[in-house]
C-alpha cells in the first residue's frame, strides 16, 4: 500500500499541479471559458492510461509462471527505475521554473488561437505522468507478487493509490488557491529521495531476475540470509523492501548495484541542488 500511495501522491501532485497552474493562469487572464479544453485533455489522458494499464496487466497475467512473465517483469523494473530517476531529477532541477514555463506555453497556445491547444497541453502533461504511474504500479505489483509468491490482491494497491490521489488533489486545490505563494521545492525534494530508494529496490529486483535467468552469471555469492528473521514476504519485510530496497538474501551484485545507484543519486541530487540555488545571471 505504501509504495503505491507515495507513487500516486507524487505523480498525482505533479499532474494536478500542472493542471492547477493552467487553470489558475486562465482565470487570471479572464479565459475561464477555456477550462473545458483543459478538462477534455485531462479526461482523454486518464482514459488512455487506464485502458493501457489494464491491457498490459491482463496481457502479462496470461503468461503467469512462464519465462515471458519474467522477461516482462525485468523490463518493467528497469524501465520504471530509469523513468523514476529521470523524472525525479528533472523535477528537482525544473521545479522553480515550471509555473513560468507552463504560462509561456499557455500564452503560445492562446496566441495561436488553436482550438485544442490547451487541451493538447493538458493531455501531454497528464498523459506523461499517467504513463509513468502505470509503469511504476505494474513494477510494484510484480515485485510484491514475487516476494509473496502468490498474486497480490488489488485492495491494498487500490487503497494506496486512492489515498495518494486524494491527498494530491488536496494539494492541487491549495496550488490553485494560493498560486505562486505555495513553494513545493522542499516537498518534492523529500519525495524525490524516497522515490530514488524505491528505484534502487526495483534495480535489485531486476538484477535478481537476470541472475536467475543466467544473464548475469557473476556476483552471485549471497551476502547474508535474514529470511528467517525478516523475510521479504512478511509485511515488515515488504515495507523495508519497498522503502529501502531490502532483500533477505541479496547477492554481491545486488548489493553493489544498490550501493552504486544510491551513491550516484545522492551525488546528482546534491549537484542539481547547488545549480538551482545559484542566482540567475
Written as tens digits, the pLDDT of the chain (281 aa) is 666 777 777 777 777 777 777 777 787 778 788 888 888 888 888 888 888 888 887 887 777 777 888 888 898 889 888 887 887 787 777 666 666 766 677 776 666 655 567 778 788 878 877 887 888 788 877 776 655 554 544 556 667 777 877 887 787 777 667 655 555 566 667 777 777 888 898 899 999 999 999 999 999 999 999 989 999 878 788 778 777 788 899 999 999 999 999 999 888 877 876 665 555 44
pLDDT value for 102: 66
pLDDT value for 185: 65
Rg (CA), the chain: 20
CA dist., res. 261 & res. 278, Å (int): 26
3-state secondary structure of 281: coil
CA dist., res. 247 & res. 46, Å (int): 34
For the packed helices 35-61 and 2-28, what is the interaxial angle rounded to 10 degrees? 160
Of 85, 83, 6, residue with least CA distance to 260: 85
pTM to 2 decimals?
A: 0.71
Neighbours of 212 (CB within 10 A): 12
3-state secondary structure of 222: strand
Instruction: Report which secondary-structure segment, H or E, holds 161.
Output: helix 154-178
Phi and psi dihedrals of 220, rounded to 5? -90, 0
3-state secondary structure of 251: strand
Instruction: Report which secondary-structure segment, H or E, holds 143.
Output: helix 117-148
pLDDT value for 281: 44
Phi and psi dihedrals of 17, rounded to 5? -65, -40
Cβ atoms of 223 and 255 within 8 Å: the answer is: yes
By residue count, the chain amounts to 281
Amino acid at each position: 500500500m505504501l509504495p503505491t500511495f507515495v507513487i500516486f501522491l507524487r505523480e498525482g501532485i505533479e499532474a494536478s499541479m500542472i493542471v492547477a497552474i493552467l487553470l489558475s493562469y486562465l482565470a487570471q487572464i479572464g479565459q475561464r471559458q477555456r477550462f473545458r479544453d483543459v478538462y477534455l485533455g485531462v479526461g482523454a489522458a486518464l482514459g488512455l492510461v487506464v485502458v493501457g494499464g489494464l491491457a498490459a496487466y491482463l496481457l502479462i497475467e496470461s503468461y503467469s509462471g512462464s519465462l515471458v512473465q519474467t522477461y516482462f517483469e525485468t523490463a518493467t523494473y528497469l524501465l520504471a527505475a530509469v523513468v523514476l530517476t529521470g523524472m525525479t531529477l528533472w523535477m528537482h532541477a525544473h521545479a522553480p521554473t515550471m509555473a513560468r514555463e507552463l504560462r509561456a506555453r499557455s500564452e503560445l497556445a492562446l496566441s495561436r488561437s488553436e482550438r485544442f491547444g490547451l487541451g493538447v497541453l493538458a493531455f501531454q502533461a497528464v498523459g506523461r505522468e499517467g504513463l509513468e504511474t502505470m509503469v511504476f504500479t505494474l513494477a510494484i505489483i510484480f515485485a510484491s507478487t514475487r516476494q509473496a509468491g502468490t498474486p497480490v490482491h488489488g485492495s491494498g494497491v487500490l487503497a494506496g493509490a486512492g489515498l495518494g490521489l486524494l491527498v494530491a488533489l488536496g494539494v492541487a486545490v491549495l496550488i490553485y488557491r494560493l498560486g505562486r505563494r505555495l513553494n513545493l521545492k522542499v516537498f518534492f525534494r523529500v519525495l524525490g529521495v524516497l522515490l530514488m530508494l524505491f528505484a534502487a529496490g526495483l534495480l535489485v529486483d531486476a538484477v535478481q531476475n537476470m541472475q536467475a535467468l543466467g544473464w548475469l552469471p557473476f556476483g552471485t555469492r549471497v551476502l547474508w540470509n535474514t529470511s528467517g528473521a525478516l523475510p521479504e514476504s512478511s509485511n515488515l519485510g515488504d515495507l523495508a523492501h519497498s522503502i529501502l530496497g531490502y532483500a533477505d538474501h541479496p547477492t554481491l551484485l545486488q548489493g553493489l548495484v544498490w550501493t552504486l545507484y544510491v551513491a550516484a543519486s545522492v551525488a546528482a541530487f546534491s549537484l542539481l541542488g547547488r545549480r538551482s540555488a545559484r542566482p540567475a545571471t
